[in-house]
Amino acid sequence: MATRSEGLDIAVNGEQIAGTFLAPGTKMPGVLFVHGWGGSQQSDLVRAKGVSGLGCVCLTFDLRGHERTRTQRQTVSRDENFQDVLAAYDRLAAHPSIDPSAIAVVGSSYGGYLSAILTTLRPVKWLALHVPALYRDSHWHTPKRQLDRDDIAMYRRSVVAPADNRALAACAEFEGDVLIVESEHDDYIPHQTIMNYRAAFVKSHSLTHRILDGADHALTGELSQRAYNSILLNWTTEMVIGSRLGSTIHAELSRSNAVSGAGGGT
């Protein structure tokens, strides 16, 4: 984030000494939270509150087919939910306090998948993916509930290259900082899916991979929730503070695959 500087004179014993005020720029980073299938913005509010304490403007929202629009659950498609993400991003970017060059997106599961694709159409500086889901490119306009679940499960256990998947292709072109959080006991997102995502980020400025020991997909239990919240807040702090200082200290974690934590969204 840009820093404002202002020169001034300080009076002392009848003389003037030079000084300089340094203050953060008037604009703040923005953070968009995208929940998973079957979830809601409610699951992101605690995390958003913590991140907003860093001096960020956060936006949570409900994808169509959830909460007030639950009646659309059987008919909503990935294309329609992706339009939801685009609309939410644009609303966040239009906030008068936002620095449009400093926007982070935090996506969980299905939301992580949509968030990865978002980076091809909107500028994203920081991308956090919690147990990101993966789907075939075909049937993009088909209602999500009509997709073959057995085929999806098999696909997620397969090695998939960026050239063969829209979300992974987006990751391959992403040049910002990345956080990937995996759950040790995930019944929906196997380790191979996480490795497909991780391998795709060949141009990222930094890549941090964390595994939540003992956690399931939905982060069941207070311990798993706290562990994920801590990882996300620490990483966001590192990114935001590093950006404000104009520092590249956080790049020392580039290509990191450290494992920590304890521990779903679908």
Distance CA 217, CA 10 (A): 58
Q: What are the C-alpha distances in Å from 142 to residues 45, 77, 108, 118, 147?
A: 30, 5, 21, 19, 7
Distance set, CA 4 to CA 178, 230, 243, 249 (Å): 28, 31, 14, 21
The torsion defined by the Cα of 22, 23, 26 and 29, in degrees rounded to 10, comes to: 120
C-beta of residue 109 within 8 angstroms of C-beta of residue 131: yes
- Asked if pLDDT for residue 192 goes beyond 80, the answer is yes
Q: How far apart are CA 87 and CA 134, in angstroms?
A: 22
Q: What is the mean pLDDT of the chain?
A: 89
Q: 238 CB contacts (<8 Å, ≥6 apart)? A: 249, 250, 253
On the question of pLDDT at 200 being above 70, the answer is yes
Among 21-35, 41-55, 143-157, top mean pLDDT goes to 143-157
Residue 85, CB-side half-sphere exposure with 13 Å CA sphere: 30
Q: Measured over all CA atoms, what is the biggest interatomic distance in the chain, rounded to whole angstroms?
A: 82
pLDDT in tens, 51-108: 999 989 999 999 999 999 999 999 999 999 999 999 999 999 999 989 999 999 999 9
Q: Report which of residues 21 and 23 the model is more confident about.
A: 21
Confidence tier at 114 by pLDDT (50, 70, 90): very high
Mean pLDDT of the 229-242 span? 94
Could you tell me the domains of the chain? 27-253 (3.40.50.1820)
Confidence at residue 25, expressed as pLDDT on a 0 to 100 scale: 64
Query: pLDDT by residue (tens digit) across 236-260?
Result: 999 998 887 764 444 444 444 443 3
